């Protein structure tokens, strides 16, 4: 392990550490305009165990927006050295400020995460995620340098140059967005290379929801081991929770964060092992502490111990954001249910898109699916058969029969950053 003493800490000791750090965090947070008001009447001595965190109020994305840009800062602006913003996938972005110490902590958590899935000092990492405001750029970058890897800041896009860099510099670790990984694997093959001849062995994939089926496809197409990486700007960025080599859920670094899983409707903790909304508190951030942040991400704690010996609890892959839920004809559907069906079908290629439209008084879902070249034949009857098969498989999962449109490989537009999986025009008029 990167830090044995912390990563394998006895649970009781770890909880004690959390309580101490939580108390300090509350006192520190009270120095910010926002929390000085919100926590004005809160007595820090009411925190005796980690469970007492439930006595504190939640912080929501709207709170962060209303406090934009400086309302949560506990120090004068001159003490800060960096700002990032969330990608704004779900609305107005929020700004996150870091002191030098916060950046150091982040790099350490990141290095620890990468070490857990087998990255070592002797590796070379190519960071194929967008730099700029997105935390996946500099966050992974500094963590990789902290671990001692040669770090190539290739950024997103320009597939040919990416391939050349990987080959020229014997790149063994990639950081790549999952939706782009499938496309990239294809590009590598089209450029005339076999993925098994590429020097890589590890892919860090995250930043967007993806299914176990998509991971399996990435691993197979790229001849690589792909590890799930979870984070969000409000909690620094990547390096919040990460898979170890056992790939049985992501260890969430509990010396730096207190994680809770709640029923999004009642705000109460769900039973251990049940799915709910992840709520996070920073306990190692000095410049901009955030208490009980409602991430809107849905997951569960995985019960039991991991074989690797790390004692920090694991969360399951994010099944989606609470905001991602689509309601069609009264049925609740998550995009990941659709991905799971599609990615388990051998005929399906790399990309798909879900469109929701209103026609008169009724709503319809069309699922556009890229089909692998070898299955895209001229015989209409064969294609119609495939179309029906996909619609039927989807229906068994989402309980509605969507329209299915078969698309040629590479014909659905791709984004360089997080994939857009759903286009919903129902409320536009
Ligand atoms: P935005 O909320 O605008 O996308 P961020 O760039 O901070 O801003 O992205 C954080 C969000 O990305 C998380 O809250 C989560 O929804 C998603 N995310 C990050 N990593 C993963 C992952 N490994 N699996 C699923 N979703 C992820
Ligand atoms: Zn483990």
> Ligand 1 in contact with 277 (CB < 6 A)?
no
Q: Same structural domain for residues 231 and 370?
A: no
CB of 89 shorter than 6 A to ligand 1: yes
Ligand nearest the Cα of residue 249 is 2
Q: Three-class SS of residue 196?
A: helix
Mean pLDDT of 346-355: 95
The predicted-structure confidence for 40-61, as pLDDT tens digits, reads as follows 999 999 999 999 999 999 999 9
Which residues on adjacent β-strands are paired with residue 250?
Answer: 243, 315
- In which domain, by residue range, is 381 found? 331-424
Q: What is the pLDDT of residue 88?
A: 65
Quick check: 122 pLDDT over 70?
Answer: yes
Write down the residue that tokens 């599609």 correspond to. 342
Whether residue 150 lies inside any domain: the answer is yes
State the distance from the centre of ligand 2 to the C-alpha of 306, rounded, in angstroms. Answer: 5
For residues 251-255, give the mean pLDDT: 98
Confidence tier at 429 by pLDDT (50, 70, 90) = low
Bridge-based pairing of strands 225-232 and 202-206 is parallel
Q: Which ligand minimizes its atom distance to the CA of 294? A: 1
CATH number for the domain spanning 383: value is 3.30.300.30
- Same domain for 219 and 274? yes
CATH number at residue 296: 3.40.50.12780
The whole-angstrom separation of Cα 173 and Cα 111 is 13
Per-residue DSSP letters for 327-355? EETTEEE-HHHHHHHHHTSTTEEEEEEEE
Ligand 2 is a single-atom ion; what residues have CB below 5 A from it? 244, 306, 308, 310
Strands 326-328, 173-175: parallel, antiparallel or unpaired by DSSP?
unpaired
Kindly state the tokens that stand for 413. 């537009």
Nearest atom (ligand 1) to Cα of 90: 3
Strand partners, 362: 359
pLDDT digits (tens, 9 = 90+) for 273-313: 999 999 999 999 999 999 999 999 999 999 999 999 999 99
Q: Is residue 407 part of a domain?
A: yes
Q: Environment class of residue 429 by beta-carbon count within 10 Å: exposed (0-12), middle (13-18) or buried (19+)?
A: exposed
pLDDT at residue 385, as a whole number: 96
**Do 278 and 199 share a structural domain?**
yes
| Domains of the chain: total | 2
Q: Is residue 212 within 6 Å of ligand 1 at its C-beta?
A: no
Residue 4 burial class via C-beta count within 10 angstroms: exposed 0-12, middle 13-18, buried 19 and up: exposed
**Angle, CA of 389, 354 and 344, to the nearest 5°:** 45
How crowded is residue 213: how many other Cβ atoms within 10 Å of its Cβ? 17
**What are the tens digits of pLDDT across the range 137-185?**
999 999 999 999 999 999 998 999 999 999 999 999 999 999 999 889 9
Of 346, 390, 343, 349, the C-alpha closest to 215 is: 343
Q: Specify whether 319 is located in the same domain as 338.
A: no
CA 383/CA 292 separation, integer angstroms: 50
**Cβ of 279 less than 6 Å from ligand 1:** no
Distances in whole angstroms, Cα of residue 36 to Cα of each of 75, 257, 284: 13, 21, 19
Q: What is the pLDDT of residues 315-350, one digit of tens each?
A: 999 998 888 889 998 889 999 999 999 999 999 999
In a domain, 214, yes or no: yes
| Residue 241 Cα: closest atom of ligand 1 | 23
Q: Is the dihedral of CA 320, 321, 327, 328 positive or negative?
A: negative
**pLDDT band at 427; cut points 50, 70, 90:** confident
Taking only the tens place, the pLDDT of each residue in 370-423 is 999 999 988 999 999 999 999 999 999 999 999 999 999 889 998 778 899 999
| Domain-embedded: residue 113 | yes
Asked whether residue 429 is assigned to any structural domain, the reply reads no
């Amino acid at each position: 392990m990167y830090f044995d003493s912390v990563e394998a800490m006895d649970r009781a000791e770890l909880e004690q550490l959390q309580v101490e750090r939580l108390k300090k965090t509350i006192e520190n947070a009270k120095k910010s305009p926002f929390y000085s008001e919100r926590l004005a009447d809160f007595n820090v001595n009411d925190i005796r165990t980690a469970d007492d965190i439930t006595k504190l109020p939640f912080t929501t994305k709207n709170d962060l927006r209303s406090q934009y840009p400086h309302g949560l800062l506990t120090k004068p602006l001159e003490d800060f050295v960096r700002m990032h913003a969330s990608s704004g996938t779900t609305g107005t972005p929020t700004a996150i400020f870091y002191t030098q110490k916060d950046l150091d902590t982040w790099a350490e958590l990141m290095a620890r995460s990468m070490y857990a899935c087998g990255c070592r000092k002797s590796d070379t990492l190519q960071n194929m995620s967008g730099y700029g405001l997105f935390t996946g750029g500099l966050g992974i970058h500094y963590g990789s340098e902290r671990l001692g890897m040669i770090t190539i800041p290739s950024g997103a896009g320009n597939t040919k140059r990416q391939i050349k860099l990987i080959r020229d510099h014997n790149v063994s670790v990639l950081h790549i967005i999952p939706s782009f990984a499938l496309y990239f694997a294809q590009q590598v093959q089209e450029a005339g290379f076999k993925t098994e001849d590429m020097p890589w062995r590890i892919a860090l994939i995250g930043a967007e929801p993806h299914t176990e089926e998509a991971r399996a496809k990435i691993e197979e197409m790229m001849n690589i081991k792909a590890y799930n990486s979870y984070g969000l700007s409000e909690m620094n960025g990547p390096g919040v929770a990460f898979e170890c080599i056992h790939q049985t859920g992501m260890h969430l670094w509990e010396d730096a964060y207190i994680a809770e899983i709640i029923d999004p409707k009642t705000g109460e903790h769900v039973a251990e092992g049940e799915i709910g909304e992840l709520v996070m508190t920073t306990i190692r951030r000095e410049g901009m502490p955030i208490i009980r942040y409602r991430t809107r991400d849905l997951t569960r704690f995985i019960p039991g111990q991991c074989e690797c010996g790390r004692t920090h609890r694991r969360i399951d892959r994010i099944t989606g954001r609470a905001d991602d839920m689509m309601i069609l004809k009264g049925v609740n559907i998550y995009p990941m249910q659709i991905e799971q069906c599609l990615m388990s079908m051998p005929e399906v290629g790399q990309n798909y898109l879900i469109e929701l439209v209103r026609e008169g008084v009724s709503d319809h879902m069309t699922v556009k699916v890229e089909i692998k070249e070898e299955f895209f034949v001229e015989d209409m009857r064969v294609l119609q058969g495939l179309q029906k098969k996909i619609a039927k498989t989807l229906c068994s999962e989402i309980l509605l029969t969507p329209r299915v449109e078969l698309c040629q490989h590479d014909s659905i537009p791709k984004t360089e950053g997080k994939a857009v999986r759903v286009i919903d025009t129902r409320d536009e008029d």
